[in-house]
Amino acid sequence: MSSDQPDPDPFRKRDDPQEPPEEKPGGSSGPPPSYGGGPYGSPPPPPGGAGPEGGPYGGGPYGHYAGGPYGSNPYGDMSGAADPLAGMPPLASRGKRLLARIIDALLIGIPLGLVFWLTQGEWNSVDDGRTYTQQGIYSLVYLVYEGLMLTTSGQTVGKKLMRIRVAMLADGDVPRGLPGWARTLVYHVPPLVPCVGFLFWLVNVLFCTWDKPYRQCLHDKAAKTVVVATD
């Protein structure tokens, strides 16, 4: 055969005997990306570099509960929205909060009532000045008692019996110092103001019945605290 005979396939690559790589579905070629471990690998890291501790409660409210029984978002929904209650202890019921207040009120009120009766004689409901003075003394004693207890352990006697406690919303810690005293002042001082004081107190204590998601009263909002269960 003459060497001048034309090649029937002039575009054939003589130096590459391999077939071109097969194109994968979806327009990509080559093996799928591997993330290591298991038949499907592990997913890539979430955006922003947030790791297992980078969720809404990894370093936020109640971060030290993230690995406990309440760290798995038990109240989550199908939309995948972050749950503000995830990672924190369950909120205290309103009934237990009320009973704790009643116990503390009796704990302060009964001894003071006996002292008033012994030192001032028979109760006289007509004497407004005596009544206001007694109310002021009661509020002052209750304020000091509650402030000292909350800033030390987050619990008064009533809250200990009801197995609930006051905690900082930011990290679940005891409301030491200013937050504990601020919470106590907002609860006890307004009722001493004539007329409007009782109305404010009533709105304050009822506020937790409609507040969401943390069931905070106004004194909780002022101190940035919540009331949670201890068991």
DSSP the chain: --TTSPPS-TT--TT--SPPPPBPTTS-BSSPP--SSSSS-PPPPPGGG--TT-STTTSSTTGGGTTSTTSS-TT--TT-PPPTTTTSPPBPPHHHHHHHHHHHHHHHHHHHHHHHHHHH-S--TT-HHHHHHHHHHHHHHHHHHHHHHHHHHS--HHHHHHTEEEEETTTS---TTHHHHHHHHHHHSGGGSTTHHHHHHHHHHHGGGT--SS---HHHHHHTEEEEE--
Burial classification of residue 200, based on how many CB atoms lie within 10 Å of its CB (0-12 exposed, 13-18 middle, 19 or more buried): middle
pLDDT tens for residues 81-115?
A: 678 888 899 999 999 999 999 999 999 999 999 99
**According to the model, what pLDDT value does residue 31 have?**
55
* 99 closest CA partner among 148, 146, 162, 54: 162
Q: What mean pLDDT is reported for the chain?
A: 77
- Which of 15-19, 107-111, 217-221 has the weakest average pLDDT? 15-19
Q: Can you read off the two tokens belonging to residue 91? A: 């909120």
pTM of model > 0.75? no
The whole-number average pLDDT for the span 159-184 is: 97
Please give the Cα distance from 154 to 168 (Å, whole number): 9
33 within 8 A of 42, measured Cβ to Cβ: no
Per-residue confidence band for 30, with pLDDT thresholds at 50, 70 and 90: low
Rounded CA-CA distance 100/111 in Å is: 18
Confidence class of residue 73 from pLDDT cuts 50, 70 and 90? Answer: very low
Question: Mean pLDDT lowest for which of 35-39, 110-114, 166-170?
Answer: 35-39
pLDDT value for 127: 60
